[in-house]
Amino acid sequence: MNIRHLLNEKVSAAMVAAGLPADTNPAVSGSNRPQFGDYQANGVMGAAKKLKTNPRELAQKVIAELDLSEIADQVEIAGPGFINIHLSPAWLATQLQLANQDDRLSVSQSQQPKQVVVDYSAPNLAKEMHVGHLRSTIIGDAVVRALEFRGEQVIRQNHMGDWGTQFGMLLAHLSDKLAHDEVAETALADLEDFYRQAKVRFDEEQGFADRARDYVVKLQGGDASCLALWKLFIDISIHHSEEIYQKLNVTLTRDDIMGESAYNPDLPKVIDTLMEKNIAVEDQGAKVVFIEEMANKDGDPSVFIVQKSGGGYLYATTDLSACRYRSFDLDADRIIIFTDARQALHFKQVEITARKAGFLPQDTAYDHCPFGMMMGSDGKPFKTRSGGTVKLAELLDEAVSRAQTLMADKIADFSEQERDEIARKVGIGAVKFADLSKNRTSDYIFNWDTMLSFEGATAPYLQYAYVRIQSIFKKAAVDTSNLTGDILIATPQEKALAVKLLQLEEVLDAVISECTPNLLCNYLYELASLYMSFHEACPILKDGIADNVKQSRLQLCQLISKTLEQGLGLLGIEVMDRM
């Protein structure tokens, strides 16, 4: 059910009947004030301008042809030529009834599923996952879930950083530890620490840097024992990431890993193609693409190095290879990549070069979706008190323990197991929602108190709205699978709720096209707020409420509860029955 699409079709048909060209955009959108109707069609103004005619008169003609019988109970012209559409309560009630009977809540499945490759999370395995990878991981996962729910074909690609010269120093250090009978798992229990130790040796210990370089050469040359050591390192590091994925409730698995190293065999071929097609040229020993399309204001082309002068390949080379693999082996219709905004230039260069080289067909969409940084309360990049990077694992543990403290009184008499589960869902949910609800492209300030608050747009607020509905069901002592009678839309609160409930598909489509889960967060917050107002204004279990009204309101509650659960579920946030 997509009301906007439905109205767009109807208004479009009316525009054609009124003599307007078939490609006239009806421009229907939800209105933000109920007095202007539930939806507005604003397309007449643009059309009138083109035809140099009076927009109000044109709107009149369109309305005369507009058939919204049953759907709307009032249609009027406002201002210079807006068409305001007031949906009919009876029609809304029928749609709600249908949604409530449908597992998919009337969100339809894509008729022609697209093959969508989504590149997200992608931590660097040499180090521990830190807060910088939180955003990519959870924003990507929310978009993936929305795509799948709409019936698109998703291929997750975890483009892990598992290759590069830093592995020389890490492997040299690891081999020393193993030689001293240390177990790899113990040695690598803290990757951050391990990296620091190796770096100190690299900088200070005589001969170590040479050994590290030697390892790089051997690794690139495919030396078996060196590769085995590298595999061991990678494996343990992947395991660390998996623990985080589990804590975060994201859907990535080992099968989704397509690390940088997987592209190694293809890199020489990428360079060959670029040279043959004269896209890359030799410049001071390196292979470079000069991108005229991205020239600066002095006319100097953008410089994109694809092979270093010593012959080494780069992050850029791998991404060009990834374009080819995703386009032709994975058959992608659309490629989406989530990284922080500092990589925007890189992906622009990759896209332009890949299109020229034929690695990326014109009709394959390539969407780099940048995001802003997580900041501390001082407005500077988020760090530990001592100025180090914040490990994601520690941040998540802190979230859970803070939730535990916060809710200690409320849930004191629940079993220990239930208390732990609630704290986990609230704590992790709070971190995720706080991040997902921000406009993707802006930086945001990380704040424990706001994200864990039961007021405002937070996970706890939404989880609490869900819990309140469950307690109504319990109090009513009804079997929710057996509610009877029609849904009735009588009060303004019920009408506002009805329209909102039927907008889930519209919201998901916007989330999918713009890769902006914050729209779903807003939607759920608005839905929960409308529920709270409805709860105040429309008694359900009070004495004297007619049974048909009670049944109707319980069904509304049921659909709200399912929508909250589904919507939060698409963000990877769990609900609970009581708290």
Beta bridge partners of 369: 338
Min dist CB 163 to ligand ARG, Å, is 10
User: In 502-571, which ranges are continuous DSSP H helix?
Assistant: 504-514, 518-537, 547-570
Min dist CB 319 to ligand ARG, Å, is 5
Min dist CB 36 to ligand ARG, Å, is 43
Judged by CB, which is closer to ligand ARG: 319, or 509?
319
Judged by CB, which is closer to ligand ARG: 38, or 119?
119
313: which residues sit within 8 A by CB, 6+ positions away? 264, 267, 271, 306, 307
Judged by CB, which is closer to ligand ARG: 237, or 561?
237
Q: Give the other-Cβ count within 10 Å of 285's Cβ.
A: 10
Min dist CB 162 to ligand ARG, Å, is 9
Any long-range contacts for 148-151 (C-beta under 8 Å, 24+ apart)? Answer: 149/104, 149/107, 149/508, 149/570, 150/107, 150/108, 150/109, 150/110, 150/505, 150/508, 150/509, 150/512, 151/108, 151/109, 151/110, 151/113
Min dist CB 187 to ligand ARG, Å, is 23
> What is the b/e burial string over 407-445, where b = at least 16 CB atoms within 10 angstroms of the residue's CB?
beeebeeeeeeebeebbbbbbbbbbbbbbbbbebeebbe
Min dist CB 316 to ligand ARG, Å, is 9
Judged by CB, which is closer to ligand ARG: 45, or 337?
337
Judged by CB, which is closer to ligand ARG: 43, or 123?
123
Tokens of 146: 């929305």
- Span from 72-80, 116-124, 208-216, 491-499 in contact with ligand ARG (CB under 6 A): 116-124
Distances (CA, A) of 94 to 86, 88, 489: 16, 10, 10
Min dist CB 373 to ligand ARG, Å, is 12
Please check whether residue 15 is in contact with residue 47, taking contact to mean a CB–CB distance below 8 angstroms. Answer: yes
Judged by CB, which is closer to ligand ARG: 44, or 337?
337
Which residues, 283 to 322, sit near ligand ARG by CB under 6 A? Answer: 319, 322
Judged by CB, which is closer to ligand ARG: 12, or 124?
124
Q: How far, rounded to the nearest angstrom, does the alpha carbon of residue 339 sit from its chain's CA centroid?
A: 12
Number of residues that bind ligand ARG (CB under 6 A): 9
Judged by CB, which is closer to ligand ARG: 202, or 338?
338
Q: Collapse the DSSP code of 32 into the 3-class scheme (helix H, G, I; strand E, B; otherwise coil) and give the result.
A: coil
Judged by CB, which is closer to ligand ARG: 122, or 540?
122
Please check whether residue 425 is in contact with residue 576, taking contact to mean a CB–CB distance below 8 angstroms. Answer: yes
Query: Which is nearest to 42 in space by CA: 78, 70, 69?
Result: 78
Min dist CB 191 to ligand ARG, Å, is 14
Judged by CB, which is closer to ligand ARG: 20, or 323?
323
Tokens of 95: 């749609």
Tally DSSP H helices, then E strands, for the chain: 21, 13
Residue least distant from ligand ARG (Cβ): 122
Which residues, 124 to 163, sit near ligand ARG by CB under 6 A? Answer: 124, 159, 161
8-state DSSP, 378: T
- Contact between 122 and ligand ARG by CB under 6 A: the answer reads yes
Min dist CB 372 to ligand ARG, Å, is 15
Min dist CB 242 to ligand ARG, Å, is 16
Q: Collapse the DSSP code of 161 into the 3-class scheme (helix H, G, I; strand E, B; otherwise coil) and give the result.
A: strand
Q: Give the other-Cβ count within 10 Å of 336's Cβ.
A: 23
Which residues, 371 to 430, sit near ligand ARG by CB under 6 A? Answer: none
> How many residues does this entry show for the chain?
579
Judged by CB, which is closer to ligand ARG: 100, or 241?
241
- Span from 89-97, 118-126, 145-153, 514-522 in contact with ligand ARG (CB under 6 A): 118-126
Provide the mask over 90-109, with x wherever binding to ligand ARG is found by CB under 6 A and - wherever it is not. Answer: --------------------
- Span from 93-101, 117-125, 281-289, 480-488 in contact with ligand ARG (CB under 6 A): 117-125
Min dist CB 161 to ligand ARG, Å, is 4
- Span from 4-12, 32-40, 119-127, 397-405 in contact with ligand ARG (CB under 6 A): 119-127
Q: Three-class SS string for 419-487?
A: HHHHHHHHHHHHHHHHHHCCCCCCCEECCHHHHCCCCCCCHHHHHHHHHHHHHHHHHHCCCHHHCCCCC
Min dist CB 342 to ligand ARG, Å, is 9
Which residues, 217 to 236, sit near ligand ARG by CB under 6 A? Answer: none
**Whole-angstrom distance, CA of residue 76 vs CA of residue 160:** 55
Judged by CB, which is closer to ligand ARG: 195, or 525?
195
Judged by CB, which is closer to ligand ARG: 43, or 161?
161
For residue 229, which amino acid is it?
L
Min dist CB 235 to ligand ARG, Å, is 18
**Whole-angstrom distance, CA of residue 390 vs CA of residue 565:** 31
Identify the residue among 40, 84, 327, 339 touching ligand ARG (CB under 6 A).
Answer: 339
**Whole-angstrom distance, CA of residue 58 vs CA of residue 44:** 7
Min dist CB 416 to ligand ARG, Å, is 38
Identify the residue among 58, 72, 337, 498 touching ligand ARG (CB under 6 A).
Answer: 337
| H or E segment to which residue 305 belongs | strand 302-307
Q: Which residues are at the interface with ligand ARG (CB under 6 A)?
A: 119, 122, 124, 159, 161, 319, 322, 337, 339
